[in-house]
Chain A
Amino acid sequence: MKNKIIFISYVSFILLFTLYFLFDTFLIERKYENVDNSNIIETEDNKGSVISNSNYYIDDNIIIEIKEYYENDTLIHVADIIVSSPAYLKTALAKDSYGKNVVEKTSTIAERKNAILAINGDYYGVQEKGYVLRNGVIYRNTSALREDLVIYEDGSFEIINEGDITLEELKEKGAYNVFSFGPSLVIDKEISVSKNDEVDKAMSSNPRTAIGIISENHYVFVVSDGRTSESEGLSLYELATFMKEELNVDIAYNLDGGGSSTMYFNGEVVNNPTTNGRIKERSVSDIVYIGY
């Protein structure tokens, strides 16, 4: 009888704790601080004449062309972007707050920010470590020893290792946005992943999101569909090869993929995001976007 009481009491306790653990991991929203917009670089608001449809957006400062490719049994959406100033390449956090489990759909954040084009970011909120610097503000400076993408105020890209430099040092060097996901796909026009490289335990054939720079003020956002019968998905090596050979990027970096992979353009989600086997947009922590 005594043993039965010990057993039932402990099992009840550990199951209740597990329930709390799962809620804490996936559901309980914790806002640590509101977004600080004091460091945002001002952009020219005068757009001039605007021409736009489902494939193009052209004004005096921004030119975006949406293209579709079909490679490796995968539908790949590419946004080719030319801007007059790197200040039009922006980032935003869900609910304008930095925190854990603070999420919104890419399209919802994009609409709130009046973004013309947006993709999901690095989903910083699911990690407890890794640099988070957005629009010139440091939110998290703990190293996860990951390979990061640094976007400087002048719009140039650099790939760094978190173990080699602190976030404060990066900011002093002029870093404006830092993404901690990875890995890098292309560095100096050379593929930087091997055929066996994957994100943590994620195998090939997955939806992917990537960002790249071709030349000064010329960027690409890439989102590939996956996990469907129409579009299998890409391995990191396939994505890197595509960005190097088809898009001729100088530097390319892998952002959060899987169910998070979303591209938004002119008020519409242009790809087919998959969540739990269904075509459905997943909520994420952050986005990268082009807008005023």
Chain B
Amino acid sequence: MILSTLVTKKELIWYLIFTMFILLFGYVYELFSHNVNSYYMEYAFLIPLLGFTIFGLLLFFKIKTNSTSRVIISLSIITFTLYSILKGVLEIYGTTNKLINIYIVLGVILLLIGVLLLIFKRKLVK
């Protein structure tokens, strides 16, 4: 049986806390970076904020979605947020590391799986 549920308030609160934590982290990190700034660090909070907005809209319009696909999309948002924070750390230090691209690859894969699962399971439910 395939269960579709509404986004829970718990999920929204989790997104809100995550967004605020990333916003605070970026702010505090740049306080100690001797005026060396990175947009990746400053605006990393926009990624979980986007998740909060999308999930909030799903709840607002009472659109039921598969909970597993929501978890996988959330994992992709965590991955993209980590990418942005780490890219900021590298930029502020003035260094590079090719391994950072792994976050983009993982984030895209998770996002694709999450979205495909969402579409596929909605069709099955119908």
Complex Cα spacing A6 to B75, Å: 9
Complex Cα spacing A169 to B96, Å: 26
- A243-268 to B contact mask, C-beta < 8 Å, 1/0: 00000000000000010000000000
Chain A hits for B68, CB < 8 A: 2-3, 6
Chain A hits for B98, CB < 8 A: 128
Q: Is B38 an interface residue (CB 8 A)?
A: yes
Chain A hits for B16, CB < 8 A: none
- B66-109 to A contact mask, C-beta < 8 Å, 1/0: 01100110110011001000100011111111111010001000
Complex Cα spacing A24 to B102, Å: 14
CB atoms of B79 and A14 under 8 A apart: yes
CB distance from A130 to the nearest CB of B (A): 10
Q: A7-B71, A14-B82, A277-B32 are in contact. Are A128 and B37 (CB under 8 A)?
A: no
Chain B hits for A24, CB < 8 A: 97, 99
CB atoms of A127 and B92 under 8 A apart: no
Q: A127-B96, A128-B97 are in contact. Are A201 and B86 (CB under 8 A)?
A: no
- CB closest chain-B residue, reference A21: B99
Q: Interface residue count for B (Cβ, 8 Å)?
A: 29
Chain B hits for A3, CB < 8 A: 67-68, 71
Stretch with Cβ within 8 A of B (4 or more), from A35-43, A110-118, A148-156, A203-211:
A203-211
- CB closest chain-A residue, reference B100: A21
CB distance from B21 to the nearest CB of A (A): 14
CB distance from A165 to the nearest CB of B (A): 23
CB distance from B20 to the nearest CB of A (A): 18
| Majority DSSP secondary structure for residues of B touching A | helix
CB atoms of A201 and B96 under 8 A apart: no
CB distance from A127 to the nearest CB of B (A): 6
CB distance from A140 to the nearest CB of B (A): 13
Chain A hits for B78, CB < 8 A: 11, 14
- A1-41 to B contact mask, C-beta < 8 Å, 1/0: 01100110011001001100110111000000000000000
- A118-135 to B contact mask, C-beta < 8 Å, 1/0: 000001001111000000
Query: Which residues 17-65 of B sit at the A interface, judged by CB distance below 8 A?
Result: 32, 34-38
CB atoms of A17 and B102 under 8 A apart: yes
Q: Is A227 an interface residue (CB 8 A)?
A: yes
Complex Cα spacing A22 to B74, Å: 23
- CB closest chain-B residue, reference A3: B71
CB distance from B16 to the nearest CB of A (A): 17
Q: A3-B71, A201-B38, A202-B35 are in contact. Are A126 and B94 (CB under 8 A)?
A: yes
Q: Within the complex, which residue of A14, A17, A206 is in contact with B34, where a contact is CB–CB below 8 Å?
A: A206
Complex Cα spacing A258 to B37, Å: 14
Complex Cα spacing A6 to B38, Å: 32
Chain B hits for A170, CB < 8 A: none
Chain B hits for A230, CB < 8 A: none
CB atoms of A202 and B71 under 8 A apart: no
Complex Cα spacing A74 to B94, Å: 23
CB distance from B41 to the nearest CB of A (A): 10
Q: Is A199 an interface residue (CB 8 A)?
A: yes
CB atoms of B91 and A25 under 8 A apart: no
CB atoms of B93 and A201 under 8 A apart: no
Chain B hits for A203, CB < 8 A: 35-37
Extra contacts, 14 of them, besides A6-B72, A25-B90, A127-B96 (Cβ < 8 A), are A2-B68, A6-B75, A10-B75, A14-B82, A17-B102, A24-B99, A25-B95, A26-B93, A126-B94, A126-B96, A200-B91, A200-B94, A201-B38, A205-B35
Q: Give 10 CB contacts A-B under 8 Å.
A: A10-B75, A17-B102, A123-B94, A127-B95, A128-B97, A128-B98, A129-B96, A203-B37, A227-B34, A277-B32
Q: Which 7 A-B pairs have the closest CB atoms?
A: A126-B95, A203-B35, A3-B71, A25-B97, A128-B96, A202-B36, A10-B75
